Structure 1
């Protein structure tokens, strides 16, 4: 299902007015997107359900005697919203008095209340990240390399957080300036040194790659741009080593000005409502308007991102009509559950998110997600118990029940506030994540996932359960050994699926789709065994074929169908578009001396 199928940048607001949203930070919570943005008078707050239709809700925080609220970020943890932001005293004319602060609220719209100031020095552009059960903070400062002789300027650091309210005070540098395009101003302070600016850290994680986007140059200039760095995932962010793509000597911006939009920068990357596609949310200025430093002109833009090996690809900035972010197949909100309530049919694979809280009771609270329910004798339940503070996976097959997983919840888990329960069904395998806790994987008995009608819902065990939001997308992500399940979507020639991906036992890996979907997006991440003597060819049964060209050994192919329209995006380049493709035509994919490292499918 696709709602509001088209949109145009800058994103519209429901009141029909033009709104500025510099440095947009996006929080996804209980089925809504919350945008926190820079403003002279306070932190602006806007709300959307789909990333394309926004309502302005005023200010999330305003402090007496302060102004210039810069680059807010917000993280929700166990009932509390923590906002990190910077501002200056109202009587100050020096932006270098911007200092990083913390404010808290129990509502995403605020009002947020100041709690502490972290530093007594220039510190801006925070971005909190929960990784491996620990909280980290990216932020930018001037004093790390500001006194250096050759390359001086603003750079990005990372530090571990002891708590949301306390830095560990063991920062390390993450991204330093290396390119002339990153210069904020030549001879900025009159001492002969050029000043560089690296700011606006924004993370993206897919598979074993951790990208960190950054903004550089000067936000007041038309040449402000977004750059890319990438690192291999490790247990701690403090141990990761980010490198600019393709190198520190080559300028390869993800977003830069064009004839329509300028000053592109300071972004967040967030999932589309379908929970699969990554979209970049950034600010830009209309190039047709005269740049006026005394008037705020930065508005919110959004674009889809594509991934090809180490490369991130964006076709923006844009200001033309284009397809909206992908929507879930099922969406429900605000339902009180006191017994068993089913929400939608099941599927061999899906991605689902539940935002749930419970009403407090002296007897405790217990409820379950019915992830695959056929009848009272055959189901899978992901059950949460407040008294034992644990989650269980319980399967029942032909009337026989057994517990296949027990895991403790966070020790201070507050059951009466909304929590995110994220479940991915991948045929007989499940992946479970609660809030920011590490992912839990488990397999179920074939009897649970056997062919037959199933449904997805919630069951309450003597408790009142508030379902704030439920969304489900019929999509799947397969990687490493999990690529064995690609054989349930494609007929695959003799192959092996292991930690390195899906590769042929011979030289050529062949895939032929078992069934066609009317609307879908497929993504193949591919790695060639060597730089030469490899190929990937898409062939259709109507005689059409496309041979894929690529620059690096690791690359991607996106195969997209919308009704009778089909197209490919290969290694970040748009290829042929077929406007009147036969909806029943089938494709065969042949890979020579190459393997598939990741596969994604979204049925729209």
Structure 2
């Protein structure tokens, strides 16, 4: 009998799930309550993307009160965790990096604020191009209208000088540009009131030499949350919005079945033949965002998935 699974693949809160594939194993990190010992970010291990073993919490925090959306990169024998923390030195969320000798941690903060000139920065996504250059995609707030762009949270990209340092030359990847990306009407922010829109949670895929930057848009706690993408010929852009992007192109809520799917990462199947999207969706009680998986494939230049799924599906190819 062919192995199968039903979402969610892990029963506890695991929002913003990022999965690292390393030496035949998968390590998942996510936004969730901290551990009694003060560590943050649960880490799970799997060999098949379906059965997950908890390994504790990964980050030894450098102070702070709130921690979001960790992602981990492996480079020259060390593991680098990029994340945002609130409450350090009294500041709002800022991007930081922590380092470990093992994928499960402990990750020790490097004492760096990666984007010190921004009052708010979240959702870091490290990406290594084929030529070995590293880039970091992350979110900041935009308060000015510009063309089709709305006021709200958007995604930028910067080249990494090394694993602890950005070049300091960020370029806009995508800002909110459609009604479905509304976060909240009349939101008080920065001393004014805005119809606030959001795109966040970057995840890169390269297909036929083009760079597809996937993102989640809308309000993370509402049914309009979903996943779409923009496309470029280089990691730094410029990125273009597909012509039919007035809705979430890859994944969105299914009324009565799945609520608020998004903030995804991508990993290969165990045999390397498939691409899998790992994302969160709310449980029926709306008390937590749980980790889900589904296969993604390409039809020409278009990414395709049956996600979000809620019925039994074939397991990743082993």
Q: Same fold (TM over 0.5)?
A: yes
Contact 1:43 1:62 in 2 (8 A): no
Deviations 1:21-70 (A, max 9, x none): 10011110011001111124211101110111101111001325323210
Cα distance in 2 for residues equivalent to 1:265 and 1:213 = 10
Contact 1:230 1:310 in 2 (8 A): no
Superposition pairs for residues 23-38 of structure 1, below 5 Å? 23-38=16-31
Q: Unaligned regions of 5+ residues in structure 2, if any?
A: 35-39
Question: For residue 186 of structure 1, what is the aligned residue in structure 2?
Answer: 185
**1:154 correspondence with 2:145:** no
Cα distance in 1 for residues equivalent to 2:280 and 2:312 = 18
Question: For residue 37 of structure 2, what is the aligned residue in structure 1?
Answer: none
Report the CA distance shift for 1:245/1:147 in structure 2 as closer, same or farther (over 3 A): closer
Question: For residue 114 of structure 1, what is the aligned residue in structure 2?
Answer: 109
Question: For residue 102 of structure 1, what is the aligned residue in structure 2?
Answer: 97
Question: For residue 256 of structure 1, what is the aligned residue in structure 2?
Answer: 252
**1:209 correspondence with 2:210:** yes
Contact 1:254 1:314 in 2 (8 A): yes
Secondary structure of 1:181's aligned partner: helix
Report the CA distance shift for 1:64/1:172 in structure 2 as closer, same or farther (over 3 A): closer
Cα distance in 1 for residues equivalent to 2:158 and 2:177 = 22
**1:277 correspondence with 2:299:** no
Contact 2:150 2:175 in 1 (8 A): no
Report the CA distance shift for 1:147/1:209 in structure 2 as closer, same or farther (over 3 A): closer
Report the CA distance shift for 1:90/1:157 in structure 2 as closer, same or farther (over 3 A): closer
Contact 2:180 2:248 in 1 (8 A): no
Cα distance in 1 for residues equivalent to 2:280 and 2:300 = 26
Deviations 1:308-342 (A, max 9, x none): 12211111211211100111xxxxxxxxxxxxxxx
Cα distance in 2 for residues equivalent to 1:221 and 1:122 = 22
Displacement of 1:167:
0.3
Question: For residue 238 of structure 2, what is the aligned residue in structure 1?
Answer: 241
Deviations 1:543-596 (A, max 9, x none): xxxxxxxxxxxxxxxxxxxxxxxxxxxxxxxxxxxxxxxxxxxxxxxxxxxxxx
Contact 1:46 1:54 in 2 (8 A): yes
Report the CA distance shift for 1:171/1:52 in structure 2 as closer, same or farther (over 3 A): same
CA RMSD of aligned residues (A): 2.0
**1:68 correspondence with 2:66:** yes
Cα distance in 2 for residues equivalent to 1:270 and 1:165 = 24
Question: For residue 226 of structure 1, what is the aligned residue in structure 2?
Answer: 227
Contact 1:245 1:310 in 2 (8 A): no
Cα distance in 2 for residues equivalent to 1:58 and 1:217 = 31
Cα distance in 1 for residues equivalent to 2:208 and 2:68 = 32
Instruction: Point out 4+ residue stretches in structure 1 off by more than 3 angstroms.
Output: 147-150
Q: Greater CA deviation, 81-90 or 270-279?
A: 81-90
Superposition pairs for residues 281-320 of structure 1, below 5 Å? 281-286=278-283, 288-289=284-285, 291=286, 295=287, 297-320=288-311
Report the CA distance shift for 1:80/1:319 in structure 2 as closer, same or farther (over 3 A): same
Cα distance in 1 for residues equivalent to 2:269 and 2:55 = 21
Which structure: larger Rg? 1
Cα distance in 2 for residues equivalent to 1:61 and 1:160 = 25
Contact 1:26 1:34 in 2 (8 A): yes
Deviations 1:412-470 (A, max 9, x none): xxxxxxxxxxxxxxxxxxxxxxxxxxxxxxxxxxxxxxxxxxxxxxxxxxxxxxxxxxx
Contact 2:212 2:229 in 1 (8 A): yes
Cα distance in 1 for residues equivalent to 2:52 and 2:277 = 16
Q: Unaligned regions of 5+ residues in structure 1, if any?
A: 13-17, 328-604
How many pairs does the alignment contain? 304
Contact 1:245 1:252 in 2 (8 A): no
**1:321 correspondence with 2:312:** yes
Deviations 1:57-98 (A, max 9, x none): 110013253232101111001111011011112897xxx811
Q: Which has the higher contact order (CA 8 A, sep 6+)?
A: 2
Cα distance in 2 for residues equivalent to 1:64 and 1:202 = 26
| TM-score (normalizing by structure 2) | 0.90
Cα distance in 1 for residues equivalent to 2:128 and 2:173 = 17
Report the CA distance shift for 1:133/1:7 in structure 2 as closer, same or farther (over 3 A): same
Cα distance in 2 for residues equivalent to 1:276 and 1:210 = 20
Secondary structure of 2:277's aligned partner: strand
Contact 1:245 1:311 in 2 (8 A): no
Cα distance in 2 for residues equivalent to 1:241 and 1:68 = 33
Contact 2:60 2:109 in 1 (8 A): no
